[in-house]
Structure 1
């Protein structure tokens, strides 16, 4: 298992928009879920995740800070989930990572729920929800923050 912690001296911030299902978004917003699991993850460190709540909500609902990213086997990620508050069952993790030798757990903190969820079509031209995530530039991020 390998963990990459963020480098606090790194500037400017790296930001990504991430698609998450509504039931998991609710667990993140409540503080129950402190890890987001992915089969694939960014090659470059990400500091901030902007959360897009997928169908049927289809809104940008929050932003979180990334503490660290851990790559490991499904078993190792389940152990991490038990320690840090993964907010999902063992069965969900093993079903999600079925057929994968490893995956990623993104540890998040500083959850900021937007008072007014944002229609992404108001921020992006021809918005398509990312399958996993997409990098955002600083202009995209500013446009999102201006609408909160």
Structure 2
């Protein structure tokens, strides 16, 4: 069994899920323990809490841990108490790995996990920690709702916060869009509409060429966002336009049919009487999961509707 649940070469982040027997794997146990117990100055006795409660309950699958590695170094960890009202027991990123997407990635993995069974996610947090990271948590609708009756340190207030899963997931998706758009903001970009069956062929690498009746060479080496049309109506992936060739339909079919990803009848029905068509070669595909609904995506770009064929993407 492989407990790797996320990997990104672009971000240099890997996330491992810790549950059941994996909690007693020495490397994982050591890294999880050190990452969480690093909060000892904030929560006295957290080492005993880990030993007596967390580790046994992870083994018995009542809790679940996640460890994030940045460039293969332990960078952050999260612990959940699994229930319909799921508690985010711990979320910590080492100081030298902050602002690298580690905390966001952990929250994204958590959202994928708890959407299966939870209706609410809640947490407790001390006043001084809230002052430090509260602005970050608010971006995910993880807001303080009340004073928590338990104090872990004398004279320091403890708060309780929560949000429903729907709001949490919507915030995760919004932050994911912002992060992806910010990474690509310096390059030319387009959004291209593709029927779902062909969009997924592109994602899987089974369709390397998108045929267009009209296109422009100016989009060479641009980023292309793949919009899967109805009924999905979502951004499902992105890639790079590595080549653009203009040629006759018959020559295109004879030379590149195995990369076009549709049958001959559909190909000629699409190109019809065009003397020349454009072959758009898409490479470096990234599968975006969860998919980004168009209504979420368009909130950050200068557009009010998805393209009929394609259009230039301009970030607001």
Give the TM-score normalised by structure 2. 0.38
Residue pair 1:16, 1:50 contacting (<8 A) in 2 also: yes
**What's the Cα RMSD here?**
1.7
CA separation in 2, counterparts of 1:134 and 1:35?
18
Segments ≥4 residues shifted beyond 6 Å: none
Q: Please name the residue that 2:250 is paired with.
A: 75
Query: How far apart are 1:43 and its partner, in Å?
Result: 5.5
For the pair 1:13 / 2:190, whether they are aligned, the reply is no
Partner of 1:23: 197
> For each residue in 1:59-108, what CA deviation from the matched residue of structure 2 results, as whole angstroms up to 9, or x when unmatched?
0110011110111111111123236x111122222111111111111011
CA contact (8 A) 2:235 2:294 kept: yes
Aligned position for 1:95: 269
2:214 counterpart SS class: coil
Deviation at 1:31, TM superposition (A): 1.1
Q: CA deviation at 1:45?
A: 2.3
Match 2:214 to one of 40, 57, 76? 40
> 3-state DSSP class of the match of 2:225?
strand
Structure 1: tracts of 5 or more residues without a match: 1-11, 141-148
1:68, 1:107 within 8 Å by CA — same for their partners in 2? yes
Indicate the structure with greater helix content. Answer: 2
Q: Which runs of 5+ in 2 are unaligned?
A: 1-185
Give the total of aligned pairs. Answer: 127
Deviation at 1:122, TM superposition (A): 1.6
Alignment CA distance shift 1:116-1:37 (3 Å): same
